[in-house]
Amino acid sequence: MTGDTGTHDVLRVIELLLTAEIFNRNEDLGINDLHPRCREFFGAGSGGSTEVKRPLIVSEGAIKKVLGTPDAAYQTIRQNPFVGYDEFGQRLSLPSLDAAAGWFLKKGGAERVGENPVLASYYEGKDGVGARYQDVRARNPRFEDTKEYMEARVSRIIGESEEMREARDLIIISAPNEVEFSLDKLVCTPRQEEIIRKIGVALEHREFLKQRGIYEFGRLLFVGPPGTGKTSLALAMSRTLHMPVLEVRLAMVTSQYLGETSKNIDRIFDLAKKLAPCILFIDEFDFVAKTRVSDDHGAMKRAVNMLLKNIDQISFVKNGVLLIGATNHPRILDEAAWRRFDEVVEFPLPDREMRQAILEKIGAAVECDCDFSDLAGRTEGFSGSDLRMMMKEAVMSALMDDRHRLDAADIEQGLLRVEERNVIRGTGY
């Protein structure tokens, strides 16, 4: 082998050969033991199925087509003493697994072992290998978290029911790995962190809770001013808990044919139950209160009552649906709405300490001459969203001056833009 590129090409093909050989020998290994690059190569998960057909095969055509391996690297692979070749089927194999595995490790394959659960299951405990199978598998992206898996599940459900097709059109469904927010990018209050831990424990012990009839759990109401992270946290929980999130905006569910609204609400909750475990996130929940107070239309009132009835009947323990409602206006929610929720979680404007933590997280991604402590003191009343916008405007200020590093003037520009925006927001026309 010559050159880093050649070494890389050879190692990734040998990884595939080792993965196929080990996987085919061990019936206990499944789709979540395959690294995503291996799933793609072997076609595992096509059509959304979690079943992996054995034997996995590494063919000459697939290597050249999928990996685009250069001919020189491919010839090096063919000449490797540990690689066998079937002329009739044009397939590669490893006649001696142990010898090939030892060669792979010597040539720099340890990093791939630490990423690939199939390899880790074989190498664990061998000299010079620190990777533990369970740890590697826990880090491996789950197939059930992918958009492909989620779309296949949704397609099967809506293919069987016109009502479910209509419900699908009213919500935004995101698979966990589609969600851009993650908990490590957010700054949470102790109360918010407690709720996340509690939901994780309940998910792990759902059967225990179900057997003891403890169902009143998993209906959360997030309350706080705009921009304080209600939606961000709901989405981040999707990634952490490995559950898809179904986003609903009640104003969108209201049909021009008011008689359909009640049915639409029913359908959305039914779809959530079919996709469970999942998160059903209802934004702008104060729409319920506004309607109950101000709308005289009987059909609309019935629709709201239908929503409250569905919330009454949903249970994270029983149905696997974590319901999260979010509102910027908790004062206008009446008692009938409040008592539907098991937990109320406050999202206050961040204090100085939280503002500094948020700024440091955002600032970690950019080159910046910033005194975050001083900046936190100057941004009293800013929401997390305001702080992100300020830093974004500062970055744009630097880029417009053909710089990548932020200076004090850029920060001032970002601060000014947010203050201007907030003044406009408070203006009446």
Cβ of 249: how many Cβ atoms within 10 Å? 15
Confidence at residue 424, expressed as pLDDT on a 0 to 100 scale: 83
How does residue 140 score in pLDDT terms, banded at 50, 70 and 90? very high
Pick from 109, 314, 361: which is nearest to 219 by CA? 314
User: Fold for domain 352-425?
Assistant: Helicase, Ruva Protein; domain 3 (1.10.8)
Q: How does pLDDT run across 177-187, given as a tens digit for each residue?
A: 999 988 988 99
Superfamily of domain 145-346: P-loop containing nucleotide triphosphate hydrolases (3.40.50.300)
Q: Which residues of 333-351 are buried (b: 16+ CB within 10 A; e: fewer)?
A: beeebeebbebebebebbe
Region of residue 47 (left: phi > 0; alpha: psi -120 to 50; beta: else): left
Confidence at residue 3, expressed as pLDDT on a 0 to 100 scale: 43
Domains 145-346 and 352-425 share a fold: no
pLDDT for 249 beyond 80: no
Confidence at residue 146, expressed as pLDDT on a 0 to 100 scale: 95
**Average pLDDT over the chain, rounded to an integer:** 89
CA distance 232 to 182: 8
Q: How does pLDDT run across 53-65, given as a tens digit for each residue?
A: 999 999 988 887 7
Q: Which residue blocks in 56-188 are alpha helix, DSSP H?
A: 60-62, 71-79, 97-106, 110-113, 117-123, 133-139, 147-159, 162-168
Write out 72-93 in H/E/C secondary structure.
Answer: HHHHHHHHCCCCEEECCCCEEE
Pick from 237, 235, 192: which is nearest to 346 by CA? 192
Domain boundaries along the sequence of the chain = 3-141, 145-346, 352-425
Q: How does pLDDT run across 105-139, given as a tens digit for each residue?
A: 999 999 999 999 999 999 998 887 889 999 999 99
Q: How does pLDDT run across 351-391, given as a tens digit for each residue?
A: 999 999 999 999 888 898 889 999 999 999 999 999 999 99
Confidence at residue 292, expressed as pLDDT on a 0 to 100 scale: 56
CA distance 133 to 122: 8
Confidence at residue 257, expressed as pLDDT on a 0 to 100 scale: 56
pTM of the predicted model, to two decimals?
0.86
CA distance 70 to 67: 9
Q: How does pLDDT run across 307-360, given as a tens digit for each residue?
A: 889 999 999 999 999 999 999 988 888 788 888 899 999 999 999 999 999 999
Out of 40-44, 220-224, 296-300, 306-310, which region has the weakest mean confidence (pLDDT)? 296-300
Confidence at residue 1, expressed as pLDDT on a 0 to 100 scale: 37
CA distance 372 to 355: 9
